[in-house]
Amino acid sequence: MASPNPTTATTRPQRPVLQQTLRSKSFLQDHQQYKPSVPVNQTIGNILGSAIESGVGSLSLNANPISPDPEKVTDSGIIHSIFNHQGNLLPTGTPQVIATIFYKSSDPVHPHLHPDSSPRPGNTLPSPMVPVGSAPTVDMEKIPREPPAPEPEPLDHLYGPFVSQLCLTNFLQIMESLPIPYQRMNTSHRCIDQQDQPRVVEVTVAPPPNPDYLTFTDLRKHESIWRFEREWNVEVVLQKESVFRRHKRLVVFDMDSTLIQNEVIDEIAKVIGVEKEVSEITNRAMNGELDFSASLRERVSLLKGVPADVYEKLKTILTISPGARELCKALKTLGCKLAVLSGGFQPLAEWLAGELGIDYAHANHLEVDPTTQTLTGRLVPEYPIVDATRKRALLQSIAADHGIPISQTMAVGDGANDLLMLHAAGLGVAWRAKSKVQLEAPTRLNGESLVDILYLLGLTKDDIKELTSEAV
């Protein structure tokens, strides 16, 4: 057989081949939105062609052949847009929405092992349960006997137990899809607890969805955002951006199950063995199933005969919630006025205010028999009951006394009797709240530490450390 013509072999055009070194080992690195957009006059073909012509045989795995656009780097992070960047894309003063995304590392929505994982010997799947905040009741026996909705894929198990790049990208895609009619939208983000594998990420969106089609109240409860939270095991808190979001001057707290982990009235009931009866009424009242004032009188009547010195004994039993001391110290350092507005009882509210450096304490007053020094089972009639309406009125009056606009106030609580003040405040946060409250409150958080509330003010982990340090 004749040998092949060498001239023909050398002049035949070679088929272009994408070298292995041009591909990274990560799908995310190849497709992440954090890379600058490709200029209009530049395509992937131009890039590959210029690389070959210049004699560059390979690119490093993390190299980006497209030079960054310095105009896209801002103080709040990298701007992401599906459009090619242009100067002054959005006019100055365009409204912004801040989304603070918290990864729920302590309370995973999907506690079961992923199907791709091999279960360890002895591991059993947990009993089915209703996620907190997703229904008026978490009692499986009270749920309608209908086929359950399919569970979303537990994506955090696949891409990491933190706010991953793909998690953030998914959120940006959801926000891009919400405005009707469609508006051009720019977004930026910053990791405010740590850069590597962040648990808390703050996302800025501008402009927000058109309120004529999607109000801000409806945006906070949008089904797409709720499903995103379930898929990625996160919580999203949405706020309108303004100077008042970042600078609060008055913060009011509920006491029981918020600043402390106990329900005081239940602890008092233990002294005379009526804890079960009192606790059942308390739970129903906090879930909004009973009128608070009527239920309080009923519970107090069961406390007749309790020694009046019970408050002193309870001080050694009550447990201050994780992060409460640090939260109050940071807020006081920033110059905030603090108040505890409790449906509990005044002696313990005053004690807690002293422990945490809180300026005001308002709670209910139990009547004491001066002869026997025991509780009479009645409330002192001269003092109004601190119910939902009273809490809202106290929030407004304290703010007015100090000349603080309501937009610079924040309220934190967990029960149905906190809902009115949560809606009245500039920011109302349902902290590890009852199911009904989580559904109806403006925002909700279910973290491990109350310090998480400081992230809603735009503070970083380093800021919080500085505010809570002993040297401050």
Element (H, E) at 393: helix 388-401
Q: For residue 351, tell me if it sits in a domain.
A: yes
Confidence category of residue 272, pLDDT binned at 50, 70, 90: confident
**What's the token pair of residue 441?**
């409150």
> Bridge-partner residues for 206, per DSSP?
186
For residues 235 and 257, state if they share a domain. Answer: no
Q: What is the mean pLDDT of residues 229-245?
A: 95
Identify the residue with better confidence: 133 or 292: 292
Domain boundary (185, 211, 241) is at 241
Give tens-digit pLDDT for 76-119. Answer: 455 555 445 444 467 778 899 999 999 998 765 554 444 444 44
Q: How many domains does the chain fold into?
A: 2
Give tens-digit pLDDT for 24-82. Answer: 555 445 444 444 444 455 555 565 555 555 554 444 444 444 444 444 444 445 555 54
For residues 347 and 440, state if they share a domain. Answer: yes
For residues 454 and 329, state if they share a domain. Answer: yes
Give tens-digit pLDDT for 164-217. Answer: 999 999 999 999 888 777 777 888 999 999 999 999 999 999 988 888 889 999
Domain boundary (241, 275, 303) is at 241
**What's the token pair of residue 382?**
């001269």
pLDDT value for 134: 59
pLDDT value for 131: 60
Q: Is 256 a catalytic residue?
A: yes
For residues 341 and 216, state if they share a domain. Answer: no
**What's the token pair of residue 17?**
């081949």
What three-state secondary structure class fits 194?
coil
For residues 256 and 171, state if they share a domain. Answer: no
Which of 19-28, 81-90, 266-275, 321-330 is most confident?
321-330
Domain that holds residue 455: 250-263+321-468
Mean pLDDT of the residues in the chain: 81
For residues 441 and 362, state if they share a domain. Answer: yes
- Number of Cβ atoms within 10 Å of the Cβ of 99: 20
For residues 350 and 392, state if they share a domain. Answer: yes
Q: Which residue type sits at 279?
A: S
pLDDT value for 10: 53
Percent of the chain scored above 90 by pLDDT? 56
**What's the token pair of residue 268?**
């008092």
Which range among 158-162, 251-255, 293-297, 417-421 shows the weakest confidence by mean pLDDT? 158-162
**What's the token pair of residue 112?**
């079961």
CATH of the domain at 162: 3.30.70
Identify the residue with better confidence: 42 or 409: 409
Task: Please spell the DSSP secondary structure of 164-190, one letter per residue.
Answer: -HHHHHHHHHHHHH--SS----EEEEE
pLDDT value for 390: 97
Catalytic residue among 156, 256, 266, 387: 256
Q: Which residue type sits at 271?
A: V
pLDDT value for 38: 47
For residues 452 and 327, state if they share a domain. Answer: yes
pLDDT value for 472: 44
Question: What is the C-alpha to C-alpha distance for residues 462 and 466, in angstroms, rounded to an integer?
Answer: 6
What three-state secondary structure class fits 412?
strand
Task: Please spell the DSSP secondary structure of 36-71, one letter per residue.
Answer: PPPPTT--HHHHHHHHHHTT-----TT--SSPP-GG
Q: Is 418 a catalytic residue?
A: no
CATH of the domain at 256: 3.40.50.1000
For residues 226 and 348, state if they share a domain. Answer: no
For residues 203 and 259, state if they share a domain. Answer: no
Question: What is the C-alpha to C-alpha distance for residues 164 and 231, in angstroms, rounded to an integer?
Answer: 12
For residues 180 and 259, state if they share a domain. Answer: no
For residues 102 and 218, state if they share a domain. Answer: yes
Catalytic residue among 156, 254, 387, 452: 254
